[in-house]
Amino acid sequence: MKIAILSRNRNLYSTKRLIEAGEAKGHSVKVLDPLRCVMTLSSAEPQIHYRGSKIEGFGAVIPRIGASITFYGTAVLRQFEMMEVYPLNESVAISRSRDKLRSLQLLSRKGIGLPVTGFAHSPDDTEHMLEKCGGAPLILKLLEGTQGKGVVLAETRKAAESVVDAFRGLNANFLVQEFIEEAGGADVRCFVIGDKVVASMQRQAAEGEFRSNLHRGGSASSAKITSSERAAAVRAAKIMGLNVAGVDLIRSNHGPLVLEVNSSPGLEGIEAASGIDVAGKIIDFIEKNAREGRTKTRGKG
């Protein structure tokens, strides 16, 4: 099969591993920089041109779309979907997962365990919202942050109010969340493919830090997960409509809570911590599932 990887950089660990795994299983793998894909729309067939030549003959596309290029990247992916190329994750599911509030709304509707989360517009409602989330200490998060960058811990009510004012002053969208202190800066990343957690790892925040992101100096180790954690991760990915997802769970004293569902989870940390060939499992999934035009939305979402 001809497989396209939408990635800005062929030297990134995850991209390299997917090329390796695809080629090892006899596929032809081509990396396309989404920002160099030219889309043409007309009453005839939708087309993509890449550095002067027409894209055709691909059986599947693996999106590795960074948060900074979500708009253009998902548009390119949608174009592939309209051309009936099988997407590992669909464009609508990726767009959905990039908005933390939208994701939590969908998960909450289906009864997935979540930290109590609040969202309010008016400064007149700040105090009430902070109270509803259990009062300080509280977490405040930008809706479209990644790698821990937009996540702040406010230890006191005054600090929380200041951060809320600052975010509002910048016109930034954010949510407020109960701080799960008992997790001690740790969370569990479950790597979901289809209806299975194929690998998991525990991430521990660096000394003096509450965010466990590897980009924030967190360290990863292999993790054993419980059957309820496994079930929560698989359900969360399914609710988001993602075939492949990195589901982050935090262990609270009332069970596992979903923090977020990542649509382009990195492979480096998880392969190192678990010793599992996750890239190979992604290619296996594509082999089993890729069919022409097999998407829920065909780019219509």
Report the interface residues with ligand ADP, using CB under 6 A: 115, 139, 141, 145-151, 177-180, 183, 187, 205, 210-213, 248, 250, 259-260
CB of 33 to Mg ion, least distance (A): 25
CB of 71 to ligand ADP, least distance (A): 18
Q: Tell me which stretch binds Mg ion (CB under 5 A): 49-57, 128-136, 252-260, 278-286.
A: 252-260
| Cα 198 from Cα 219, distance rounded (Å) | 20
| Cα 181 from Cα 255, distance rounded (Å) | 13
CB of 212 to Mg ion, least distance (A): 8
Question: Tokens in use for 6?
Answer: 């939408």
Residues 6+ apart with CB under 8 A from 66: 8, 73, 264
Residue 179 contact, options ligand ADP, Mg ion, none, Cβ 5-8 Å cut-off depending on partner type: ligand ADP
Q: Pick between residue 81 and residue 178 the one whose CB is nearest to ligand ADP.
A: 178
Ranges within 256-285 binding Mg ion (CB under 5 A)? 260
Q: Are 48 and 35 in contact, with CB atoms under 8 Å apart?
A: no
* C-alpha distances out from residue 137 to 12, 177, 216, 251, 286, Å: 37, 9, 21, 17, 44
CB of 3 to ligand ADP, least distance (A): 27
Q: Pick between residue 185 and residue 299 the one whose CB is nearest to Mg ion.
A: 185
Residue 173 CB-density burial (10 A; 0-12 exposed, 13-18 middle, 19+ buried): middle
Residues that bind Mg ion (CB under 5 A): 260
